[in-house]
A and B are shown apart, each in its own frame.
Chain A
């Protein structure tokens, strides 16, 4: 079933929309959520929240990128229930991600309050300047929260190559943010 057909089911208020969404994208969403949460139960909860949110918002929204739409909801839901203190105690992967992100932030940005849409706009623009391979690796790491090993496996390159590319991309991102300046 195509994304458009599934979205049409949502518009028709046909509950099969949820089943079709689960069939097509459930495992991908669960994979991302479990990476962020380190808990299968919490991950399943955030995926279920995603379906509920999709049901509540489609219609009136008609997403042109259905998977991205679901992925955004799911990622947001996962962060909403993430217990950061517990994650820090466990030294969960998500903690490493925040540390890596921390190292990208220029000093001048550290006290800045930035709207998420503005940050996303800047990041999107930055990613479009990057070679596709580096962009994919960055997205797998910081959007989908894959481990370095999983990224290496996914693209058939060594872990050291992933680490090196991530490092260089973060380096470039930091320089890009510096050059971009703090949006006002």
Chain B
């Protein structure tokens, strides 16, 4: 049996499963959305960097945050400084004398290198030193977490920093030395480099908070790693623990509660029959609210008719820079007012809301000569 046969020969899957795949929705949903009615799951698109000048950064940022969006410019020094002043970016301390939050076992030290949090959620970056990653292997790890000693189930996603970014000429390079990225195989697959110049590896976890009122700040988060290892070469090969152990890290959650900047453009988005009612953009999250025309039954109906999950495609800065990379997010449907509200958390970089000039939105697609979908030029809505 080949992969092609397997793909084709699953054609007699149970009918209820096929229909579940088309009509089913996540039961758990996003935490803070589950208690409200009529939510849709949407994605958010986002954004940015900054254009401010000057000023030294208080702390060295982790590579994971510095190059969080490898295809966009890195955050400026002033944006970093701003993020630290507002409490968005924090390097948690274990003791009053400033010792880092870290744990050592089996010769491996794990340190909380940086957190980036606002009321909607955030990112925790760990620096792992002393882990012997065999050449050509991809790292893996196992972990669990509690908040104030309780098991919680926040929406999360995690990844290792793969060492790649773009240089000023738009060429793919390794972040640590600016050298061109190696490729392998017929498909010219990019070869990641997980270790920095000191041999450290970074691992980051994005969390979405179930409630967005800042109630989690001040609580103790504990993340316990139970092993480090490598990913399997083939998918039939499971990840392998090469170094079992226990690394428990506890710190107090801190983050920014600074109010986002708000615009009320009430502007139509192209010819979709949708109005951008309000946009709130913070440093690390954004919320947008749209009104749908009556021709749409609800936001789900809109998505099915247009093929568009109603979220921004990007933003324009006042200096003319366009940024299209997206962040994750979720939305809810207000049936009474025919409004869709989408929240994008854990943006792909840190923003300076004062530098936002406008937002871009999906405008549909065309098929090129090869039958591929090519997005039409985005609709633009200025934010005055």
B17 contacts A135, C-beta separation under 8 Å: yes
Q: Does B21 belong to the interface (CB within 8 Å)?
A: yes
Please tell me if the beta carbons of B43 and A153 are within 8 angstroms of each other in the complex: yes
A35 and B300 alpha carbons, distance in the complex (Å): 20
Q: How many residues of B contact A (CB 8 A)?
A: 60
Name the residue on B nearest A141 (C-beta): B21
Are B371 and A37 in contact (CB-based, < 8 A)? yes
Contacts of B5 in A (CB 8 A): 114
**A114 engages B18 (CB within 8 Å):** no
A171 touches B9 (CB 8 A): no
Which residue in A97, A111, A133 is a CB contact (below 8 Å) of B7? A97
Nearest CB of A to B85, in Å? 28
Let me know if A139 and B7 touch, CB within 8 A. no
- Residues of A near B237 (CB, < 8 A) are 174
- Distance (Å) between the CB of A95 and the closest chain B CB? 9
Q: Judge if B1 is at the interface, Cβ distance under 8 Å.
A: yes
Contacts A101-B7, A114-B1; A160 near B159 (Cβ below 8 A) = yes
- Shortest CB-to-CB span from A103 to chain B, Å, is 4
B43 touches A100 (CB 8 A): no
* A–B pairs, 26, beta carbons within 8 Å: A27-B304, A68-B18, A98-B2, A98-B6, A101-B7, A102-B4, A103-B234, A103-B236, A106-B236, A107-B236, A117-B12, A119-B1, A119-B9, A123-B10, A136-B20, A136-B21, A152-B328, A156-B329, A156-B330, A157-B157, A158-B157, A161-B157, A170-B235, A171-B238, A174-B237, A178-B236
- Judged by a CB distance under 8 angstroms, whether A112 is at the interface is yes
CB-contact partner of B17 in A38, A69, A124, under 8 A: A124
Note all chain A residues with C-beta closer than 8 A to B7.
94, 97-98, 101, 142
Q: Please report the C-alpha to C-alpha distance between residue A132 and residue B305 in the assembled complex, in whole angstroms.
A: 26
B residues neighboring A (CB under 8 Å): 1-28, 30, 41-43, 155-159, 187, 206, 232, 234-239, 304-305, 307, 309, 327-331, 346, 367, 370-372
Known contacts being A40-B367, A132-B27, A156-B329, is A100 close to B236, with CB within 8 Å?
Answer: no
A85 on the B face (CB < 8 A): no
Contact B17 A127 (CB under 8 A): yes
Whether the pair B3, A99 counts as a contact (CB closer than 8 A) is yes
From A97, A114, A116, contact of B11 by CB (8 A):
A116
Sort chain A's interface into a size bin: 35 or more
Interface set of A (CB-CB < 8 Å, partner B): 27-28, 31, 37-40, 42, 63-65, 67-69, 71-72, 75-76, 79, 84, 90-91, 94, 97-107, 109-117, 119-121, 123-124, 127-128, 132-133, 135-136, 139-140, 142-144, 152-158, 160-161, 164, 167, 170-171, 174-175, 178
CB distance from A30 to the nearest CB of B (A): 11
Cβ of A133: which chain B residues have Cβ within 8 Å of it? 26-28
Residue of A nearest to B29 (CB): A156
Instruction: Tell me which residues across on chain B come within 8 A of A128, comparing CB atoms.
Output: 17
The 6 closest A-B pairs by CB, nearest first: A102-B3, A139-B21, A174-B236, A156-B41, A65-B15, A68-B15
How far apart are A138's CB and chain B's nearest CB, in angstroms?
A: 8
Chain B nearest CB, measured from A42 CB (Å): 8
* Complex contacts, A65 vs chain B, CB 8 Å: 15-16, 18-19
Q: A153 vs B312: C-alpha distance in the bound complex, in angstroms?
A: 12
Q: Tell me if B1 and A105 are in contact (CB < 8 A).
A: yes
CA distance A115 to B6 in the complex (A): 10
